[in-house]
Chain A
Amino acid sequence: MSQTTGTLLSPPPVTGGSRRKGRLPRWAAWAVFGTALVLVAGIGLPAGLALALVVLFTGVLGTLALYVLSRVTENRRTATDRLVTCVVVGAFALAMVPLLSLVYEVVSRGIGRLDGEFFNSSLVGVIGEGGGAYHAIFGTLIITGLTALISVPIGLLTAIYLVEYGSGRLKKVITFLVDVMTGIPSIVAGLFAYALFAIFFGPGVRLGIAGAVALSVLMTPVFVRSAEEVLKLVPNELREAAYALGVPKWRTVVKIVLPTAVAGLGTGVTLAVARVIGETAPLLVTVGITNATNLNPFDGRMATLPVYAFYQLTQPGVPPEFAIDRAWTAALLLIALVMALNVVARLISRFFAPTTGR
């Protein structure tokens, strides 16, 4: 979320506390963990202990040893402090395990098919080896682009209403319901969009735009939330100065408030897009899948990367390897897209860093 409000303070000084006894030297912690590692590895590895368990036991043993050591040489409070530090660092290390393994798994399985053909051919006439996701890449870009086109104006106007105009009950109700909307399960949004379009186009309708509508239901509230926060950050003094000069309110919003907040809004858009670009379930029921390239979201089925990956994995042909490889490459591409969007968001907020003064 908001990185800007990250660590504002310098890290607090190393522990205070009364020092009746001595203090462990800085290298003590490293030494303790090193010894623990040698011990665990020395006993465990020959006994056939898995590497992951060695690391785990080292962590536990080292933490306990450090705590006891600190209790003996320092005092209870410092010992507790060291214990908590170990636990917190350990928790962080633990959280890195899924991320790293996930990225590793996807990259190592997906990199093989990350070739030219993957980017410039579709699945038309492809059986077994080869083929690509050209149609799915463009499908994802078009549908996500449309989603942004629907969500950004509505979301921005809603945020403006909430921050600049809204008052009383309507504002409260909208704020609350926007929060509720962020909790709509994605498959429900998909079913809703499908039902909506089925009313006009008959059952069995599959349109890119229907997928965009489903994704908008998911994206709009996310964007409203972030846009609202960003607009609130614009100092009131700017608005008041404009009013004092006789500028009408709407011009104040358009010319003063929005430009001031543009960096945050850009970040909000990109992060909200990143949130919906990988949605699978709603697209499954609204957009369907096709093997051919269809760039017209108002005419029939389109392929999208998540749905493409899902079907390639769950409905591979014969032999299944080739389709499964394509699924992993599509997943890799999705992660890369999301990472790229995140980088863009960072760049936007860096280049247009708040010039709001104070």
Chain B
Amino acid sequence: MTLRTLSRATAVSAALAGTLALTACGASNETSKDSSGAAGGAAKLSGTINGAGSSAQQAAMQGWAAGFSGVQSGVTVNYDPVGSGGGREQFLAGGVDFAGSDSALDDEELTKAKERCGDAGVFELPNYISAIAVVYNLPGVDQLNLKPATIAGIFAGKITKWDDKAIAADNPDAKLPSTTITPVHRSDDSGTTKNFTDYLSKVAGDVWTDEAAGVWPLKTGESGNGTSGLISSVKGGEGTIGYADESQAGDLGIAKIGVGTEFVAPSREAAAKVVEGSKIKSGRGEFDFAYDVNRATTSTDEYPLVLVSYHIGCVQYDDKDTAGLVKAFEEYVVSSEGQQAAADAAGSAPISDNLRDQAMTAVNAITTAG
């Protein structure tokens, strides 16, 4: 009896161990990292910085983390795409070193930021700019011009057919079918929705009566979870229209939106340009570059429907290593290589030289407290 029990027990544990244990061998793409060495003349740093926040920045952050590891091979950059609100909260609570956020800190959060970072306050850098495209799926219609009021009407459910007069008036050459329009919005709370509704309320306020909000305020229309869910919904139905990062539009139709009297297609240059032409919110810290995007621009080389996502961090860190790491990372992010890396990885719009110079003043100011 004892013998049998014993052998049985051993066999069970062996079986369990067999299922759970795998030979550890290390990820091949990580082990080679040390040999590559630091490129460039910068001092070699090592350590880990943690960021959290906007999921819109996730893809760009992959690009930055990858590119940064080429400059500073000893540094690991972790980024948790928990969402902008979560990122700001974690940053303010000291859980992460920096936050990625689709909107700047509000007044209440700025007060908390004083506790987190001391009197030197925070920096907020508009490091990720992305054009939001109005995408549609309507076979036979390759080009579409939409005035802001028309877009607002469609998403508010007031324009329901593709051959509506309002649409036809701006598209004299297109053969518009009488298909029902299915507007698609994001089902999750998102910065994209917030920027889109902000745009609608500012430029088409008489049609779009709701305020800017991260959660879709209306009860009409179809929804998709995240950018990919929205895109797949637009792709999956006929006569659908939605809004998403221009880079994710794929082979869907992209509408030109009305700016002034012209129609402008989303592009990186036009997106970067509108931010440069916008005003910084006043009465905030020296390095707090929070923007009020000029949605109502009439300049036709600007595309006002953009998402601006910030990097938020402390100007002074208690920990010397952290300060150095954040400084080096942000320096890379705002550099033209960094912005190009994000453009390659996420299709974002590289910031202009003026914005870069402005951001570098903040980067250079990052120090250790005391």
Contact = CB atoms under 8 A, between A and B. Distances in A.
B30 A316 contact: no
B81 A289 contact: yes
Contacts of B33: 124-125
Interface in A307-333: 311, 313-320, 324
A223 interface: no
Contacts of B70: 125
A341 B69 contact: no
B2 to A, nearest CB: 8
Interface residues on A, range: 35 or more
Interface string B213-254: 000000000000111110100000000000000011010000
B62 A311 contact: no
Contacts of A315: 55, 58-59, 81, 226-228
A182 B349 CA distance: 49
B22 A203 contact: no
Interface in A78-108: none
5 contacts: A204-B86, A295-B24, A317-B345, A318-B345, A351-B11
Contacts of A324: 228
Nearest to A116: B28
B12 A348 contact: yes
A128 B344 CA distance: 9
Interface string B2-30: 00010011011001100110101111111
B69 A125 contact: yes
Interface of B: 5, 8-9, 11-12, 15-16, 19-20, 22, 24-30, 33, 48, 50, 52, 55, 58-59, 62-63, 65-66, 69-70, 76, 78, 80-82, 86, 89-91, 93-96, 225-229, 231, 247-248, 250, 344-347
Contacts of A126: 29, 62, 66
A204 B128 CA distance: 23
B15 A344 contact: yes
B80 A318 contact: no
A301 B80 contact: yes
Q: Per DSSP, are chain A's interface residues mostly helix, strand or loop, or mixed? A: loop
Interface string A125-136: 111100110110
Given A202-B94, A262-B12, A127 B345 contact: yes
Contact of B58 (A125, A266, A311, A341): A311
A340 B16 CA distance: 12
Contacts of A132: 27, 29
Contact of B62 (A127, A137, A141): A127
Contact of B95 (A141, A203, A270): A203
A320 B248 contact: yes
Given A120-B27, A315-B228, A320-B228, A289 B76 contact: no
A295 B26 CA distance: 10
Nearest to B86: A204
A113 interface: no
B9 A259 contact: yes
B66 A127 contact: yes
A300 interface: yes
Contacts of A292: 30, 76, 78
B76 to A, nearest CB: 5
Nearest to A344: B19
